[in-house]
Structure 1
Amino acid sequence: MRALITGSTGFVGQHLASYLMNYGIEVWGTTRDNFNGIIPGMKIVPVDFENVGSLVKVLDDVQPDFIYHLAGQSSVKDSWTDKSTTFQSNVNLTIHLLEAVINSTIKGKVKVLTVGSSEEYGGPDEQYKPISEDACLKPTSPYGISKATVGMLARHYFVAYGLKIIHARPFNHIGPGQRVGFVVSDFSNQIVQIERRQQNNVISVGNLSAQRDFTDVRDIVHAYYLLLNQDENADWGGSVNVCSGKATSIQSILDTLLSLSHSFIDVVVDSDKLRPVDVPVFIGDNTKLKSLTDWEPTISLTQTLSDVLKKLRDQS
């Protein structure tokens, strides 16, 4: 079996590549640059996402059984300041890829996973109710709007062209190797800087009372694998939440990280990190994912946070 991963050098892409290769799947990753790869065993193929013909040639040459489309702009914050790039990266490039698929020799056999976000929902209709896939989409950021559009495109290419495609909506995913700019990586990076005496013993935080749905990235990629390894009764053209189904407060994330630290650390709230509007509780309903795949998360939150810190500490 052979898989093609777009965005293969990113946080999730690297974990997915390693996971698939452990299952004996040959993995190809796309790149726009002359990138030699940081995942041993993954084959890198340069691709021009602006050129559908170039994409068709890559698909015809590689002949993947699975395509995991992870490439795109992943920052909600950046989407506010650069809306055009966000839509170009998340919507237009998805169109180019799917157009290439339906014009390639693999159209009839390949299975495709597009990756959206819980940001597509915008916020829960009821404050403490887990959000299911049939909830109304009310994205409130340009990023969320772009990902909701990707989900609609997935449905369109299934209905119009019979493409075997599933749209995943992951909630907060965390784990070793995540770049700074997300709550766990930000907290962890500050802690390691303090341990190295490169920062005063004070960690700057935002709203700690908010509760979110966190899942280890290694459990996330396991779900992605299972979603494309279903039988013909799979929900092709549908959307599936990928989440733990549990609410965890940012305070408890911080408390656990501090308990794993080698230093005494004070906590200071930074008003610049507080959002004008912050949904108190935001969790997903993973009933559909479990019914389709029998997926269950296997990595505890404490283990995830410990691994995040270890990865940062091991970096020179």
Structure 2
Amino acid sequence: MKALIVGGSGFVGGYLAQDLKKVGWSVAMTMLSSEKAPEGHDVYPLNILEQAQIADILRCLCPDVIFHLAAQSSVGLSWKNPALTVDVNIKGAVNLLEAVREIPDYQPRILLIGSGEEYGYVLPEEVPVSENIKVRPGNLYAATKVAQNLIGNIYAKAYGMPIVMVRAFNHIGAGQKTGFVVADFCKQVAEVEAGLREPVIQVGNLSARRDFTDVRDVVRAYRLLAEKGKSGETYNVGSGHAVGIDELLAQILSLSEAKIRVEVDAKRLRPIDIPVIEADIAKLKGHTGWKPEIPLRETLQWTLQFWRKNPEIFR
């Protein structure tokens, strides 16, 4: 199988490429020309807002499967730059689908990667959330991913395109940039241990509960959905278990011998925050046989070790 990862420079792209190559797929990826190309991968520069560029790459490579990972994925940044979020997450997805359509007799499988944030204001009786509940996005990033999902569904039905939609819940691991809760916490702990900051960790809302999955488990789910997912269907990808941010922080702090004080930073609080988001993953399990394999504590240890070795990254 030949795969193209659109937006391969992000946190997930490298892990997805590793997983695919491990099982014998050939892999190419795209990224912005300004981004640093990872070693050992076939990389093509691409601006997702330029449909002609997308079509040129597709004609050149003719991938069997396209994983659409290109996104503005930070909820915080979506509040600060909504126009960029709309352009990349909605216009970018349309450009990709239209680029595929303009190539005669070409029907690659396409995974459109969305987010568990799409569910938004989940009612207590709706937890864990299935793919069939009403989406009530609570932030601008989530709204753009809802739009992407709807567009993918329309294209699948109207044009018979083999498109599978994914709602991925929080995925974590080594190499994730700051701006995401586990990376933020682990980086701060590593900086305290290295003497780069005072023994204080800045946090936002600790009462929220979220569904966290190791990125290596997540990309394995993407591969299985590319192989076995049903066209026009949406699949949750998550652990199926919500964890309190306060519990998450406690586990990370327990992995360090440093004595660290916790302080709430008002700048880290979102204008709107959803109390509980947890995935119902029965559909994913039933259609692919996937299940999460890596324990949360192991993932947290792995992530903290990354920051201990790289405390200056993203400063």
Question: Do they fold alike, i.e. is TM over 0.5?
Answer: yes
Map 1:64-213 onto structure 2 (within 5 A). 64-105=63-104, 107-108=106-107, 110-126=108-124, 129-213=127-211
CA distance in structure 1 between the partners assigned to 2:72 and 2:240 by the alignment: 25
The equivalent of 2:304 in structure 1 is 309
Match of 1:244 among 239, 244, 247: 239
- Indicate conservation of the 8 Å contact 2:122/2:136, yes or no: no
Deviations along 1:147-188, one digit per CA (max 9) or x if unpaired, are 001001111111111110111001111111110011111110
Taking a change above 3 Å as real, the CA distance of residues 91 and 128 of structure 1, as seen in their structure-2 partners, is: closer
Taking a change above 3 Å as real, the CA distance of residues 106 and 50 of structure 1, as seen in their structure-2 partners, is: farther
Instruction: Report the RMSD for the aligned CA atoms in angstroms.
Output: 1.7
CA distance in structure 1 between the partners assigned to 2:70 and 2:198 by the alignment: 36
Number of residue pairs aligned between Structure 1 and Structure 2: 311
Could you tell me how far 1:119 is from its partner in structure 2?
A: 1.5
Q: Residue 5 of structure 2 aligns to which amino acid in structure 1? A: I
Tell me if 1:49 matches 2:48. Answer: yes
Could you tell me how far 1:35 is from its partner in structure 2?
A: 5.1
CA distance in structure 2 between the partners assigned to 1:22 and 1:283 by the alignment: 30
Q: Which runs of 5+ in 1 are unaligned?
A: none
Q: Residue 287 of structure 2 aligns to which amino acid in structure 1? A: L
Tell me if 1:217 matches 2:218. Answer: no
| Percentage identity across paired residues of the two chains | 41
Could you tell me how far 1:215 is from its partner in structure 2?
A: 0.7
Could you tell me how far 1:37 is from its partner in structure 2?
A: 2.3
CA distance in structure 2 between the partners assigned to 1:106 and 1:223 by the alignment: 28
CA distance in structure 1 between the partners assigned to 2:3 and 2:201 by the alignment: 41
Deviations along 1:220-239, one digit per CA (max 9) or x if unpaired, are 11100000111xxx421111
CA distance in structure 2 between the partners assigned to 1:36 and 1:63 by the alignment: 24
Could you tell me how far 1:94 is from its partner in structure 2?
A: 0.8
Q: Residue 142 of structure 2 aligns to which amino acid in structure 1? A: G
- Secondary structure at the residue paired with 2:124? coil
Tell me if 1:289 matches 2:288. Answer: no
CA distance in structure 2 between the partners assigned to 1:2 and 1:36 by the alignment: 23
Taking a change above 3 Å as real, the CA distance of residues 34 and 89 of structure 1, as seen in their structure-2 partners, is: closer
Could you tell me how far 1:128 is from its partner in structure 2?
A: 6.7
